[in-house]
Structures are given as C-alpha cells and as structure tokens.
Structure 1
Amino acid sequence: MLDEWKMMTRTAAFAAGNFLSCLSLFLYIHINELAWHPTSPTRLVPIDATRANPELIIKLSRESLKTDRPKEKELFITVSEKWLCKSVRLGNKMCMLSSAIATAASRNITFVMSQSHRPCNWIIQLRQLFANLKFVKQIPSTVVKKWHTAKENGPYLYSKIPDGRNVSITGYRQSWKYFRSKEQQAAIRKAFTFTTRYENFANQNLAKARQSYIHIENPILIGLHMRIGDLVTVKSGKRLATKAFYDAALYKAFLHFNKSPAIIFVAASDSPKLAKKMLSDAAEKYNIFWSSGTAFEDMATLSKCNNSIISGGTFGFWTAWLAGGVTFYNANASLPDSPFSRRYIESNFILPSWISVAWV
C-alpha cells in the first residue's frame, strides 16, 4: 500500500512538472510575440532576462494582457432647480433644459435633474410632456447645491459652461448656439420626444385639419404661432405682432410655396379670441385651421407641421425648431431704444436659415 502511494505521488509530481514546463514554454512564446508587436500595451524587458525566471514570465504576461484602465470620474450637469421652477412658461424651460442636455452630449457627461423633498410642479409637468425626461437620473438637491453654479452673461448671449466639474446652470439660455452640432441637436430631439398622450393629440388634431380641407391632397401644413397674451399689457420692450405682421407673413409663405392651394395654416395662440379677430380677413383668402388645445397640446401640434410662422418668444421658437422645414419669423420683435432691444441679439436667437418678415 505504501509503495502504491509513493508511485501515485511521483506520478502527480511528474505531471505537475510537465504542466509547469509547458506553461513556461507557452508564456515564453507569448512574451516573444508581444515584445515585437508595435501596439503592445506593456513595455517589456529583454527576453534574455526572462529565460531563467518563469515567475517573471508569468508576471509580465499578466500585465501585457490587462485591458482594464482606471475609469474617469463621472461628471454631471443639471439645471438649477430654482431656475427650472421659476414662474416662466414652457419655452423658457425648454431653453434651460436644452443648453444642459447639449453640453452633456458634446462632453460625454451625464445630464441629471435635481430632486427636492417636495418637487416643484414644473418638473412633474415636464415629465408628463416629454417621455424621456422620465428616465433622467435624479440627484438630491442637497448634493446639487454643492456643485459649481454656472451663470449666464445675458439671456440672448452664449455663455460658456465650465468643464471638468459637476455643474448646475442658471439663466434663461435663449440661444441656439448652445446646440450647434448634429450630435447636440439629436440629443435635444430625443429628450423632447412627446409622451403618448400628447403625441396622439397632435396626430388627431392634424387629422382634423386635413379633414377640414378634405379636397386637398398631400397638404403643406404650416404651423402659425400667435403670441399675444402678456404682450398686450406688459411694457417690456417686446413688440406685439399686429395684424400687419400676420398679413405679411401669410402672404410671404404663400409666395414661397408658389401660391400653392394645398397650404393649410394650423394656427394656435395664447389669446385665441384676439388671434381669430386678427385673422378674420385672412381666413377668406387662406386655409386656416385653429388648434384649440392647451399650451402643451399646441406645442405638440405645431411641432409636427411641415413649416412654421412665429411671431416671437421662446414657445414659437421651439415649435419651429422641432418642426424643421421653412420658418418665417417676426423681424420687428423689439421696440427701438427699449430695455429689451438693448439686450436682444437676434442672431443669437434666430437661426441663420430662417426667413425674416419685416412689417413696420
């Protein structure tokens, strides 16, 4: 029995020795191949120094095969909750969000949203309007308060957002120059994908527009946003677009599309009674369909038109930007020598490809 045990021990030792010899030979060949490879990730010592040292061969082989690299610290960007929850309307919220989303896309960092113990109503509503905002990671506001705050120099100026740190941005950020690249624009369009509720409303609303002019095949849908509301009473220096602007804009669009009888103007306003009164004469010349939804529903509807006419403001900007196509804009949006005219820079707000409509 003892002899059999000794024989088994010798056999195991012999097998182990052969295994180590084969392993050393394999690693020796592997190291030789790596030493000559121009893209070898590890600087190897001369082969002669390894021949008598199997342990060194194993060590160098393991190092040469490593693919793990230390991960860079994940950085975040968000919109200051104080600003996102301000008592300003939807278009301004979209400007704030878009500047942060575009920055995240171009720098490969993470866009997040701040989360308080009691979230503001605006954040809830934005998530109800835009489907993909529901999936955005939320960071406690107590953490966000410790981040760097990036202020803007002016609402219509492009203010550089610092890199290399966690950032909470403030300001209105009313400039298309925050999202110039295709990559940034794609990220914003993805973020501003409407939820099923508003997507369905827009499709049904435009189906009604086509049904209203059933004799028209393949209609050209031109979204017409008429901002009136606060501009009637607030003396901010923003010029209220009057009947003269809409007459000029409708006619310019009509000419642009070669006086096509297939044009349907899909109109929406924050003051529908006044808006319809302004367009009472135009309704006898053109095909006009009125969208009678909420602000969110009108945003979804106008953004799905082929082209746009906008009278001013950020709401109109976003309906036109999301729609794409041809956009006709109010070239006289500010009153001369007013506080607004001194800070409004049209080239920062209006896209270069958009067509101006002068009317005063």
Structure 2
Amino acid sequence: MEHGKFLCYTYNGRLGNHMFQFASLTGIAALNNRTIIVGMDDYLYKVFDLMNVLVIRNRDICNSFDLIEEGLGCCKFDARLMTLREDKNFKIGLYLQSWKYFYHVQDILLRQYRFRDNISKTAMRIVNEIRLTHRQHSLTLIGIHIRIGDIANEMHNRNGLVIAPEGYIYKAMDYMKSKFPNSIFIVASDDMEWAKNVLDLRLNDSVHLLEKDNMPYIDLAVLASCDHVIQTVGSFGWWAAFLAGGISIYYPHPGRVGSAGEARYNYEDFFPPNWIPIDV
C-alpha cells in the first residue's frame, strides 16, 4: 500500500470502545488526509453503514503499519496523535476516549454512525410499540443506560471504578421530569434485574425496560432514537448520548477520588462541555 495514506485501529474492548477508536481515527484522518481501513468482519462495519473507508477482506495489512499508542491513559486527550508523519501508514491504539479527537468532524461522524437498515428498523419498531403502549405520540423519550456488569467485579472495584449510585439515577430522572413532564424513561442495562429493582421504586414515573436479551447494538439504536439520555458510567452510555443529540446527563465520578480508576480520566477531555453533570 502507498506510504502515508492509511490508518488502522486496534479494536480494544467492546462496542462503545470500538466506537471511540473509530471516531478518534476519523478526526485524525481528516487532519492528515488519510483513509481508514476497515475489515469486512469488523464489528462496527456490521452495525453501521460506514462511509469513505477502505473495506478489505482481511486487515492483516495493518500489522505492517507503524504502531503508535496514546500515552496519557484511556480517557485523556493526547495531542501528539493529531499530527502524523506524511510518509508512513499507522495503526493507532489504545482506547482514545476523548471527544477532542473528533469534535471537528462531528457532522461527518453522525453520518458514519448510521445504523444498518435491519438494526434501525428493529429499533424503530420497539420505539413505536412503546409509544403505542402509552397511547401518546407527543411523549418526550428519555433513554437511560445503567452500566453494572464488569464494573461490579472485584478487579474493577479494587481499581476504583464505580457504579453510579441509585441516588444519581433518581436525581437525573427528577431533573429530566422537571423539564419534560410528559415523558417516558426507556431503560437499557447489562443487569436488568438490578435496574428493575432500582426503578420499581419510581412508581410515579413511566418507565419501560428493554428486553434483557437484546443485542447491544439494538439497545444502542433504541437509546439513540430517544430525545435525551441519562448515562451512568462507561463508553456505551456515552455514545447513546452522543448519537441522541439532546440533553445528556452524566455521573461525574466514574472513578473513586484518589484511585487508579480516577487517574485514568481527565474529565474535561472525556465529557463534552455542553453535557450536564449531576452529583449526589
């Protein structure tokens, strides 16, 4: 392949992580006149109708590219990556979780992250069924993503990564309800039993829990179809909020103060300035 024309990424983590990596490469590619290489079997290519990429059957060619990695941690902007040597192709890693890598190409990215037709149609069917259940078409739909899963395990707990507390979820819901009285909360989680136990206490709110066996990309497409989003912690909820494009509420302490988990973040790099933190 011609030198100095292509970029690959390293595919660390799951769907939300992949989205950060591809989004950041999109921003870097735009500044350096590069084309991103995507494999036919790549998760993102199966979920999104990606444009202006080079799609190849096998991404082994990427192994011949020079590898450069972020040097500051998963959730901190590394400005070094924004300017690349013109005579080399690069593979860029690791997690690249900062909006600053791609704020200048947000419109392009929203077009890139259009769900494939089968996913979009399934999500729209779910949303329309929810509207029909409540017999109103003027509802404000507020998505909630509750991340429990791996964050609850011993390793992450030891490193200081935390689950957003119940009080945060209630306070965020109250904030949204004060702004949009005629609303319904659509909830996705990787632990629906935990979410149900917490939200069963909200007897005066209209809450719809998505099916626990949904594929992650279906949950993401449903949340992205909402008017506004409440996220807890993690990259999946972050992208639901970004794609929805409305008001985004976030929990501002995903790492315990003074912990290794907190040290991974620069919160100003991770959370866009127009998003709203709610503390408890």
Give the secondary-structure state (helix, strand or coil) at the position aligned to 2:50.
Answer: helix
Larger relative contact order (Cα-Cα within 8 Å, sequence gap ≥ 6): 2
Give the secondary-structure state (helix, strand or coil) at the position aligned to 2:64.
Answer: coil
1:201 to 122, 125, 146: 122
Pair 1:180-2:85 in alignment = no
By how many angstroms is 1:331 displaced?
1.8
The one-letter amino acid paired with 1:131 is D
8 Å CA contact retained: 2:35, 2:52: no
Supply the distance in 1 between the matched residues of 2:259 and 2:246 (Cα, whole angstroms): 32
Unaligned runs of 5+ in 1: 1-71
2:36: which partner in 1? 111
1:331 to 244, 252, 256: 252
By how many angstroms is 1:74 displaced?
6.3
8 Å CA contact retained: 2:37, 2:59: no
8 Å CA contact retained: 1:74, 1:110: no
Pair 1:290-2:220 in alignment = no
Pair 1:90-2:39 in alignment = no
Q: How does 1:139-288 map to 2 (within 5 A)?
A: 141-153=59-71, 154-159=73-78, 160-161=80-81, 162-163=83-84, 164=86, 165-181=88-104, 184-214=105-135, 216-233=136-153, 234-235=156-157, 236-257=159-180, 260=181, 262-282=182-202, 284-288=203-207
> Quick one: structure 1 residues 158 and 332, their matched pair in 2 at CA, closer, same or farther if it must change by over 3 Å?
closer
Supply the distance in 1 between the matched residues of 2:48 and 2:119 (Cα, whole angstroms): 9
By how many angstroms is 1:143 displaced?
3.5
Specify the structure having the higher radius of gyration (Cα).
Answer: 1
Supply the distance in 2 between the matched residues of 1:199 and 1:285 (Cα, whole angstroms): 31
TM-score of the aligned structures, taking structure 2 as reference length: 0.89
Q: Pick which of 95-104 and 266-275 moved more.
A: 95-104
8 Å CA contact retained: 1:112, 1:139: no
By how many angstroms is 1:352 displaced?
0.3
> Quick one: structure 1 residues 332 and 144, their matched pair in 2 at CA, closer, same or farther if it must change by over 3 Å?
closer
Aligned residues: CA RMSD? 2.1
Unaligned runs of 5+ in 2: none
> Quick one: structure 1 residues 89 and 145, their matched pair in 2 at CA, closer, same or farther if it must change by over 3 Å?
closer
Q: Runs of 4 or more off by more than 4 Å in structure 1?
A: 139-142
TM-score of the aligned structures, taking structure 1 as reference length: 0.70
2:27: which partner in 1? 102
Percent of aligned positions that are identical: 26
